[in-house]
Every structure is written in structure tokens, then in C-alpha cells.
Amino acid sequence: MSEAVIQVQGLTTRFGATVVHRGLDLEVRRGEILGVVGGSGTGKSVLLRACIGLVRPVAGEVRLFGERLDGPAGDALRRRFGVLFQNGALFSSLTVAENVAFPLVEHLGLPRPEALELARARLALAGFPLEAAERYPKALSGGMVKRAALARALALEPELLFLDEPTAGLDPITAGAFDRLVVTLRDALGLTVFLVTHDLDTLYAACDRVAVLARGRVLVADTLARVRDTDDPWIREYFHGPRGRAAAAAQR
């Protein structure tokens, strides 16, 4: 059986008086694309940020590849995953190519020209049109920002990829292409993907398993077919509401 790349155990997070997670458990296995869904404000982004060490849990722990990020192996661990933030978080003072080259220069000590060359290869891999590689982020469309940010997340050849609502704000065609891109990259690079999404189509097109977040816990984490048949009011509303039925129909 494939090993767990992410292990979340008993995670409790809190902002002031707001408790976001109460003893949340979750496991992501090597090579799978796990979709994390839940209503707005149920703590999907916070869970992602807890996994990558940006939010400190009040209780419980997160292990990546069996190690804790705040342990001695932390810095080495950080290079083994890449993150695509919800709004891309491209550095606005650098061109797209420089954005991707930045971690290569910083972490691998590559000289600038070689880092830029490798950056262009990464951009191509993420499906970014290279004639736009010298542009600044503000001159990019939404879909291009996501692809550029994905290329930067892939810069150090990570084994694990975190994506926060990668298709939010994209048109359905661009979003569909992005879903397929994630699957192809997973197959080609052997990635493990933690994918937060609102997009039902993404769940159907890209995810191997789905975890549903509600009331501070993971209600269920299983294949889409099993999750859909779980008896819970929110899940029923989500998967069997008009949009859920449309997405399911589109998949057949």
C-alpha cells in the first residue's frame, strides 16, 4: 500500500476565539490527487497553511514525508513541496521568468542565465506561452498567472504540490485545461497533490479522493463515488444540488 506523504493528526487551529479545526485527521498518499472541499470559511485555506507551516497549530501535528516542518529537517522539507497560492502571489517587481528563476538562484545557486533557461523549461511544462515570459505579472491574464505560479511552485522539482483553489476565477475552458494539466503533471512527474477547490468539475476531472471539511473536522475522505453517497446534509446539498448534478452529468 502506498505510504502517506501528508499526515495530519488531531490538528486544532484557532484565531483568537474562533476555533477553525477541532482535532482534524487527514492522510494524503503518495501519487494521489486529494481534493479538499467544504463551504466557504470552513478552514480549507487554513488547513493548507497549517500543512506548509504558515499557521501554527494549537494542538496536534502535521507530518510531511514523516517529518515535522518545525523539526530539524524543516529546511530540507521545504524544498520538497511547492505551493500555488490562491491569487498566484507572483512577485510583482519581477518578470514571469525571473519569478520562476528566483528559487533556482536562491536555493540551487544557479547563475542568472542558467536559472532563466531552466525557468523557461518549467514555464513550458506548466503550459505558459514563452513569448510572454518577459512580462510583468500585472500584464498577465488570470489563467496565465495561475500557470506562471504553478511553474514557480514546480521550480525546485517538488514531490508534493499544494494548490489553493487553482481554478477559481478562471473561465470554464481555461479551468478545464488547468485540471488536465494538473493530472498530466502528476502522471509525468510522479507528484502528490493537495488540492483545495470549490469547483465540482475539478473534483470530477482531477481528483482521486475527496476530503470534505465541515465543523472543524474531515467528515469523510474517500473516492468521489463513496463521498457522494455519504449521508450528510451539506454533502447532499453540494453534490446533489443543481450544480453538482450538472457537473456529474458533464462527466458522463
Ligand X SMILES: Nc1ncnc2c1ncn2[C@@H]1O[C@H](COP(=O)(O)OP(=O)(O)O)[C@@H](O)[C@H]1O
In the list Mg ion, ligand X, other proteins, none, the entry touching 192 (Cβ below 5 to 8 angstroms by class) is: none
Task: Report, in Å, the least distance between residue 196 CB and Mg ion.
Answer: 7
In the list Mg ion, other proteins, ligand X, none, the entry touching 166 (Cβ below 5 to 8 angstroms by class) is: none
In the list ligand X, Mg ion, other proteins, none, the entry touching 231 (Cβ below 5 to 8 angstroms by class) is: none
Q: Is 37 helix (H, G, I), strand (E, B) or coil?
A: strand
User: Cell for 146?
Assistant: 495561475
Distances (CA, A) of 136 to 19, 98, 102: 39, 9, 14
Q: Report which of 198, 168, 201, 202 is spatially closest to residue 182, judged by C-alpha positions.
A: 202
Binding string, residues 77-96; x marks residues near other proteins by CB under 8 A: ---------------xx---
Q: Are 12 and 59 in contact (CB under 8 A)?
A: yes
Q: Are 127 and 165 in contact (CB under 8 A)?
A: no
* Among the residue ranges 14-22, 23-31, 50-58, 151-159, the one whose residues contact other proteins (CB under 8 A): 151-159
User: Cell for 166?
Assistant: 487553482
* Among the residue ranges 8-16, 41-49, 109-117, 232-240, the one whose residues contact Mg ion (CB under 5 A): 41-49
Dihedral, CA atoms, 59, 62, 67, 71, nearest 10 degrees?
A: -40
* Sole binder of other proteins in the list 83, 101, 150, 154 (CB under 8 A): 154
Burial readout 167-188 (b: 16 or more C-beta within 10 A, e: otherwise): bbebeeebbbebbebbbebbee
Written as one letter, the residue type at 105 is V
Query: CA-CA distance, 125 to 227, in Å (whole number)?
Result: 32
Contact status: 167 vs Mg ion (CB under 5 A): no
Residue ranges in 189-218 that form contacts with other proteins under rule CB under 8 A:
189
* Sole binder of Mg ion in the list 13, 42, 45, 202 (CB under 5 A): 45
Task: Report, in Å, the least distance between residue 121 CB and other proteins.
Answer: 3
* Among the residue ranges 6-14, 113-121, 224-232, 235-243, the one whose residues contact other proteins (CB under 8 A): 113-121
* Sole binder of other proteins in the list 4, 89, 105, 118 (CB under 8 A): 118
Task: Give the interface with ligand X as residue ranges (CB under 6 A).
Answer: 15, 18, 20, 38, 40-46
Give 85 or 204: the residue with its C-beta nearer to ligand X.
Answer: 85
Contact status: 125 vs other proteins (CB under 8 A): yes
Q: Is 206 helix (H, G, I), strand (E, B) or coil?
A: helix
With DSSP H G I counted as helix, E B as strand and the rest as coil, what are the percentages for the chain, rounded to 5?
40, 25, 35
**# residues near other proteins by CB under 8 A:** 34
The residues binding other proteins (CB under 8 A) are: 92-93, 97, 104, 108, 110-111, 114, 118, 120-131, 133-134, 136-138, 154, 156-157, 184-185, 187-189
